[in-house]
Structure formats: structure tokens, C-alpha cells
Structure 1
Amino acid sequence: MRYRDAFNQTLRNELSRDPSVFIMGEDIAGGAGRFEKDGEVSYEAKKGYKPLDAWGGPFAATKGLIQDFGPERIKDTPISEAGVLGAAIGAALTGTRPVVDLMYFDFVTVAFDQLLSNAAKSRYMFGGQTKVPLTMFARSGAGTGHAAQHSESFYSMLVHIPGLKVVVPSDPYSVKGLLAASIRDDDPVFLINDKKLINLSGFVPDDDFVLELGKGRYLRQGSDVTLIGMSYTSEVCRKSAETLEKSGINCEVVDLLSLSPLDEDIILESVSKTNKVVIVDEDTPMCSMASEISSIIADKGFDFLDAPIKKVNSPHTPVPYNRDLEFLFMPSEKRVIEAVKEIVNY
């Protein structure tokens, strides 16, 4: 199953499972307000007519949902991210489970006050007497020609906020488990989908399941070097490990899945076995997740290390639009392999 289909299926499952779940966002139904029956379109709700679904957003995440659940639960909104998120927070505080599509990860900055001051702090400021079961999702990452204002990967900006959970699926299986867990969680959760993963195919069980928030996983066991990835960079780490195996280098691959809470145990456990580590993060390097993980290893796992900690980040620049520069900008298998070879015989 493709990543995008697993995502859509999970939204459908959660809408069916819990009547308090609803989705809101810009263009998630292609502009609700049109109805169709046997090819005839009406701008008024009539008997036998169903809401017309134009595309389900630019990434088809919600395609088909308005036809089955109606405009009361699949809500097209104005182009006002702060307004959309503010309304969703209010809805969450009064007992529903809103799911907000913010489209591109970059747009979170437009709604940052609502996210920081209200979503993340309400439970604390009310002394635990309320909860904010709000799920947000957006698309991150370079490599798809969306240029500087639609390609950010600044995970660490969200991870810095106490009270907000941040998860980063890396394949169809993990997006199903993490999205279901996020929607059922009683705290605000931001789920980040890398655009490069959307058409990735993989095994997804038919059975209902959730993945625990705050837990990473091993994609591959190894003994020579630990590769730590998140979202799409976990796929980069996995492919790099397969290439390095042909050279006799046995890499262990850790897929973080959750950035807040962060699974420090799996990081330190792996480094204690391999004694060398490369952290791969598409975010720019200063104050990035790679920097935070490096700090944790240096503080709590320094005695495990036989070589310097290596980070593979994007450079400290905006994402270029030129296609060749864009691919040079992102962490690549080539750069990961070079970093591994630099320390493997240290």
C-alpha cells in the first residue's frame, strides 16, 4: 500500500470509529458546497445528491472522505491557518477530536501563536482539568520542486515546545500506526509527512493498530556504526546501510518515529553496541534534532564512543528551487556513506 493511501485509510477508520473526530483544512474537499448526482452538479443540497469531492487537497490525503462523511465532519476552511487552528483548539477543549490539515509544514509559522500559547499550554494552565485532543499534520521536505517557502523540515522548532508531541512516520506502516495513535491521544500531536514518502509503498496490516508515541524502532541490526534517521532520512539511512554492507560495513539503523517524546533509550542502546554514530537530519544544522541527539549522546553515552559523533544535515541556507541544487541541498546516501567511512576505522 502507498503511504498516501495508508494515511487516507487511517483517517477514514478513525472517522468511523469515533463520531467526535472531524477534519478541517484548506481545500481538503476541493471546495465544499457543490453536490452531485449521476453527473449533474448542484450548488444546493438536494435529496440523493452527494457532496462533490474535487481532489482531497493537493496531496489527496482526504480524497473521498466528504462524500462518505459529509461537510459537517470534513470541513473546508478559509485560507487562514491561525483561524483554522484556533477554531480547532476551541473544538478540542469542548470535547471533540479535530484533525487539522495545515498543508505545508512551512505554514505552521502563520499559526504559531495558537500552537505555542493555546494548544500546547492549555492543559498546563488549567491545572490538568482540561485536555486538548488535537491532531495536526502537514508536509515537509525538499526534493519535490516546491522551493524555499514550501519545503521546510524545521522539526526542532516544534520539539522545543513543552506540551506538544511531534511524530515523524517513515513508511506506510508507521504512518498508519502513528496517525491512529495521534488522533486517540488526549494531547496535541503534530504529525509530519515528508513529501518524498507520499508515494512510497510498503506492507500495512489490515488490522487496527497503534504505535506508541515516544518510541523508536530498529530498521536494521548492526555492529559497526549506528545510523539514526527520522522521517525520510530513515529511508536514506536504510539504503545507505544496504550499500555499505557490500563493502563489509555492518550498520545498525534507528528510525526515531517520535521526536517529542524522544526515545533516548534506543539511541543510547544502539550507540553502546556500535560505539560510532551518524545522525541524518534534513533540517538545517544549527539547533537541529541532530544537534540535540548529539548532545544527548555526548552527555549520557560519552563512554560508549570510539569516534566523533557525525551529523549529516542540510546546509544553513533556504531550500533552492534549482533542481540540481535542491538535490545537493538534501542529505543523500553519498554523504551518509562518506560520513560512515570517515569514522568506521577511527
Structure 2
Amino acid sequence: MMSGSSISILARKQRMLVSVLLLLILLTIVISLGLGASSLSYKRLLPTLFGNGDIKEEFVLYSLRLPRILVTLLSGMALALSGAILQGITRNDLADPGVVGINSGAGFAIAIFFLYVPIDTGAFAYKLPVVGFAGAFLTAGIIYLFSYSKREGLQPVRLVLVGVGFSLALSGAMVVVISSADRIKVDFIAKWLAGNIWGTDWPFIWALLPWLIVLIPYAMFKASAMNLLALNESSAIGSGLVVNQERIVLLIVSVALAAAAVSVTGGIAFIGLMAPHIAKALVGTRHQMFVPVSILRGGWLLLLADTIGRSIADPSGVPAGIMIAFIGGPYFLYLLLRK
């Protein structure tokens, strides 16, 4: 049990970290706005932002740069929160929506939808998160059933192993599905698999934002329940918590966040693994403390990865998913060996 003074110190540290992360996000946004194939000088950013730019400058800022930046930032936040919830309810530090197969489930459903369902351009951006959620939820449900034992409850190690197995199986199934598809659609799915930020128009922001507006406050409301679930089965039950009900509801929240994010960013893994871990190392394991830090760190990590990726290679840059994998892959192996 933590003392009042310890909690007060951590709360001050959390506020400081939140302030630093907000500044880092703002700085990265400014840098990102001035990078890219279409030129927009830094000295013209503020005038253009306040409506004093020419047609070209306003097009670059409002149609190319700003939507991509906001989509990337929001998606990183959603993936980080999804991973934080998943690690808490499974008591497994290796749990991540990309690692345990949730992203693959969403991706497979989106691939089927994109390849075989007639696309209504106006509603496409709003349907994708729903389709991704359906695929991710079905996959998560199957993985949960395979990992759960009536005698021992949810088994964290089995969850990761089953999740990795489903992720590989769904990736293979996706290759089979797209093997006979139209070349243009296959190119899109390939970019999606690489984690290439593609939903860079304003409708994708409006499609993603409501999920975060609703689910971030709900997750913070459930922070105390997640603290109990992260301990052990008997402690959670002894405290009066309806364990299975809480775990399933929070699993649905985690799946919804991950599906909404990957539906517009592609198959990006490791954000949900790294951001919560780093936040816990800084402010402790209480969800009230580390979840806000994790959300901001996840948004900043993905934004930074995309900014670096699209500036180091021409013409289309390196996908953000690959940039994150360069960092997240070794980090995952480090955690695996340590645990």
C-alpha cells in the first residue's frame, strides 16, 4: 500500500511528465508541418494557420499535413490506451494489440471488406472502424476462450502464445485472400500491413475522434477496477469485483480502441507495448497515474515515427509501422528475455 506522501510525489511527477509530453507533441507537430515534398516554410506556418496564406499554402497545411498529423497522434493515443488496458486485464506485460492478434483480426476484416464489398466513398471512413472492430472483437473472443481455464482463470502466457499464433494464421489467410485480387487493391492492403498511415483526410479524423472521446474517460473511470484486475484473481474477487464481467467489458474497450486506430493507420504494433511500459517505469503501476502518461507517450511515439519515416526516404518515405518495429521488436525481445 502506498503512503499519501508517495502518491503526492508521483502525482507531481505525473503532472510534470504530462506537461513535458504536451510540449514534445507540440514541437513535433511544428517540425512535421514544415517537412514534406510540398514546401511550406516555418515562417509561413502561423500566417497560414490563421487564414493569411495563399491557396497553395492552405492546401498543403489543411489538406495534406494537418489531417495526417492529427490521425497519427490520435491513433497512437488509442493504441497506447488499448495496450495499457490489455496488459492490466491479462496481467501480462507482453500483451499488445498487435502482438496478440487483435490488429490482425481487424486487418483481415478490413481486407475482406475492402476487396469484396462495394465501397460507398462518403461513408467509407466511418464504416472502417466498425468493420475493424467486428473482426478484432471476434478474434479477441476466440483468443480469450483458448486462453481461459475454469480452474485457473485467464492464463497470461497462453494468451500471448495463442495471440501470436492467431496473428500469424490471419496474416497467412490475408495473403491467400489478396493473391487473386485486383493489383491496386493488393497494393493498398500491402501498405496497410506495413503500417503506412493512409487515412489522411478529415473524415478519418471525425471517424476516429468519437471513439477516443468516449473511451478515454471510461477507461479512467475504470482505473480502480483495472488496478484490482492487475493483481490476481483471488484479490480481485475478494474485493467484490465481478472479475469476468469487468474483464470482458474492458477487453471490448481495448479492442474498440485498437480497431479504430489500425483501421486508418494500418497494422502498427508495439505502441501498445512500449508506451505503457515506459509510463509505468516513470510513475508506477497505478492506472490513475500511468494511463494518462501512456496515452500521451503513445501519441508522441507514433507521430515522431511517422515524421522521421516520411523525411528520410523519397518519395513516399518509410511507413510508420516499420519505424516503430525497429524500436519495438528489440524492446519486445528484451521484455521476453527479462520475464
- The answer to which structure has the higher strand fraction is 1
Give the TM-score of the pair, scaled to structure 1: 0.22
Greater relative contact order structure (CA < 8 Å, 6+ sep): 2
- The answer to which structure has the higher helix fraction is 2
Give the TM-score of the pair, scaled to structure 2: 0.23
